[in-house]
Structure 1
Amino acid sequence: MAKSLYKIPASIARSFLDHQIALSKGGWATKPSPIKQLLFFGGGVLTLLWVTTSTFISSASPGFIALFVIWGLAAIVYFGGMTKTKELRAMKVPALLAYIPAGARHVYTRRDSNPGDFYSIVGIERIDDDGRLHFADGGEGQVYLVVGSASSLLFDEDRIEILDRVDAFWRKVDTTCEWATITTKESQRIYQQIAHLERRNQDLEIRDPDLIELQNEQYDILMQHVGGRFTSIHQYLLLKAKTADALRRAHMVLQAELEGSALMIKEAAVLDKEETESMLRVFYQGIDDELLSLRTSLS
């Protein structure tokens, strides 16, 4: 039976320092804090006390020492804060320091450039003609264009059936394969409409100027308005496994779900190399550049 309320379960990668402790005094209770945050606050305060009493700061004027203490306490409170992923802000400092050099913020993608830097961002070594992804860590993957059944107009009975089906599906998924859902907002797909317009143009026996002008007008409407200004939400499913056998088993689970019911996934189409690269261009090239390349290829 579907639940009326869901929550994000605790990660199994938690350590002892991730356990939360609620500090209370009398009838006043504070928000639970993880042990690592309390240790960070305690260590920060002790370090600040040692710096102000045992270093050259202790010989400064009282006003400067007061300002330094205020600044130190503010830094401790800020870097000891928790992010949305339950991590200390101080854990982000090494990544920030690595991003400061100008060389770390620019990745050259020329043909004669070292592809190692680009692999560190994308992690994809190559894409086969059938769309099979080969990652830098040795894993393999496949991308599917999926269509689900969720809608804000669902009846309560349909919503319960979908939630029960999704819950049962994730209980049988093997942990050797990662299932990542990618949601993008892209331009309307007009490939089939353009292909139909081209076939109709080739089958046109009478090359009347008015008919040619009408077809050109329809082509401009598809390219500039439908495929240029209007966007829609597209969802992709990326299966990434450590081995080819694990990817094959995940594909069989997905295929069995498609054949067994349409509650979770109504349709799923395997993307080939060209379609996979088109999907990745949304992240690494942008929608406008993708439309420009589409118009160039169709012209």
Structure 2
Amino acid sequence: MKASYKVPASINRSFLDHEITLSKGGWAVRPSPIKQLLFFGGGGLSLLWITTTTFISSASPIFVTLFVIWGLTAVIYFGATTKTRQLRVMTISALLSYAPAKARHVYTRRNSNPSDFSAIVGIESIDPDGRIHFADGGEGQAYLIVGSASYLLFDADRIAILDRVDSFWRKVDVSCEWAMITTKEPQRIYQQVASLEKRNQALAIRDPDLIELQNEQYDILTQHVGGKFTSIHQYLLLKGKSTDALNRAHTTLKAELEGSDLMMKEAAVLDGPDAQAMLRVFYRGSDGSPERTAPRA
């Protein structure tokens, strides 16, 4: 039985991403990546050079002191790491690109230029069978999935699921991206409506009271259960670099479903209208209207 679990380190790392643990007086300091130590060292040397060789050196002692405090604060702030272990200084370019108000919003009205919105979505077209064509040449397919996670799992089941998920991701081909999407949407009532219609067609006696009762049940399903009550839905979006990469990922997913239900219990391929309905959740307004200004991702 495993006592703990961890997320493996990314393989997209360079020599500068390796962490070094420094100690002082017998106390261990939080590990710091080499790039952070180099940034602190370079920032300190640059600050020393500015205060000793430029016009700052001829200023009053109070001004020099304030400048040094400001410089050290800036070096420490921009040298700190984010949650993804990246230096804050690396986000300055993105911050400057989003500084203008025009750059933070994209108009998605019907009469607006679709170029900016297309650059965010990155989807060129969706086939009737659900095949998604991306702007970078990749192809994708969306699935409605049902997982196995639950708060009521026993420890043995939880460990079995984690082990199965761990082994599954080890064999996934890196030529295809696997994106898990979780949304909160109205409950799906297709099967209930179909069953109600089947019962309606099977009525031997078209009694007005029975017809009225069925109409009432239909209104409850469509207007209340399928309109006002929401539930959590999970989707899987496969995005391959090519058609072959997407087909290999589909084969891997199919083999996993047939081999075990620990990773996923069910996965249904979404056709074109269902895929558009799934993606529409992210790009429409809170009131369901597509005419709004969408913030950039």
Q: Scaled by the length of structure 1, what TM-score is found?
A: 0.84
Residue 72 of structure 1 deviates from its aligned partner by 1.9
Which stretch shifts more, 165-174 or 134-143? 165-174
1:79 aligns with 2:100: no
Shift of 1:210: 9.6
Which residue is equivalent to 2:141? 142
Structure 1 residue 203 displacement after superposition? 8.1
**Partner of residue 184, structure 1:** 183
Alpha-carbon distance, 1:171 to partner: 2.7
Over the aligned positions, Cα root-mean-square deviation in angstroms equals 2.8
* More divergent stretch after superposition (12-21 vs 154-163): 154-163
Question: Helix, strand or coil for the counterpart of 1:107?
Answer: strand
1:296 corresponding residue in structure 2? none
Question: Which runs of no fewer than 5 residues in structure 2 stay unpaired?
Answer: 290-297
State the distance in 1 between where 2:194 and 2:286 align: 21
Distance in structure 1 (CA, Å) of the matches to 2:93 and 2:38: 19
Q: Secondary structure at the residue paired with 2:236?
A: strand
> 1:221 Cα deviation (Å)?
4.2
- Stretches of 4+ aligned residues off by more than 6 angstroms: 198-205
How far off its partner does 1:238 sit? 1.0
| Structure 2 residue identity aligned to 1:137 | D
Q: Which residue of 2 aligns with 1:297?
A: none
Q: Deviations over 1:42-97 (max 9, x none)?
A: 11122222333333433433333322222222221111111111101111110010
The match for 2:158 is 159
What is the match of residue 52 of structure 2?
53
| Corresponding residue of 1:7 | 6
| Aligned counterparts of 1:207 and 1:78: Cα–Cα separation in 2 | 76
- More deviation, 112-121/235-244: 112-121
Alignment partners' CA distance in 1, 2:179 and 2:279: 14
Q: Which residue number corresponds to residue 226 of structure 1?
A: 225
- Percent identity of the aligned residues? 72
Shift of 1:36: 0.6
Measured after TM superposition, the shift of residue 137 of structure 1 is 1.0
Residues 192 and 289 from structure 1, CA distance in 2 versus in 1: closer, same or farther, beyond 3 angstroms?
farther
Task: Specify the code of the residue in structure 2 equivalent to 1:253.
Answer: T
TM-score (norm 2): 0.85
Counting matched residue pairs gives: 289
Structure 1 segment 111-260 matched on structure 2, within 5 A: 113-194=112-193, 208=208, 212=212, 218=217, 221-222=220-221, 225-260=224-259
Which residue does 1:272 correspond to in 2? 271
Match of 1:102 in 2: 101
Contact 1:186 1:287 in 2 (8 A): no
SS at match of 1:45: helix
Equivalences for residues 30-41 of structure 1 within 5 A: 30-41=29-40
Shift of 1:173: 2.0
Give the 3 Å change call, closer, same or farther, for CA 217–63 of structure 1 in structure 2: farther
User: Does 94-103 or 226-235 show the bigger shift?
Assistant: 226-235
Deviation at 1:17, TM superposition (A): 0.7
* The 10-residue stretch of structure 1 (124-133 or 101-110) with the greater mean CA deviation from structure 2: 101-110
CA distance in 2, matches of 1:59, 1:200: 93
Q: Secondary structure at the match of 2:106?
A: coil
1:207 CA drift (Å):
8.1
1:135 CA drift (Å): 0.9
Offset from partner CA, 1:218-264 (integer Å, 9 cap, x none):
45544554344433221111111111111112111111221222222
- 1:21, CA displacement in angstroms? 1.2
CA distance in 2, matches of 1:90, 1:191: 51
Q: Is the 8 Å Cα contact of residues 187 and 287 (structure 1) preserved in structure 2? A: no
1:223 & 1:23 partners in 2: Cα distance?
63
Q: 1:52 to 1:200 in 2, by over 3 A?
A: farther
Letter in 1 for 2:156: E
Q: Secondary structure at the match of 1:289?
A: coil
Mapped to 2, the partners of 1:201 and 1:51 lie a distance apart of: 85
Give, in whole Å, the separation in 2 of the partners of 1:77 and 1:225. 55
Q: Structure 1 unaligned segments of length 5 or more: list them.
A: 291-299
Give yes or no for contact 1:281–1:287 (8 Å, CA) kept in 2. no
In the superposition, relative to structure 1, how do residues 74 and 199 fare at CA in structure 2: closer, same or farther (>3 Å)? Answer: farther
Partners of 2:188 and 2:147 lie apart in 1 by: 17
- What residue identity is the alignment partner of 2:247? R
Change (3 A) 1:40 1:103: same
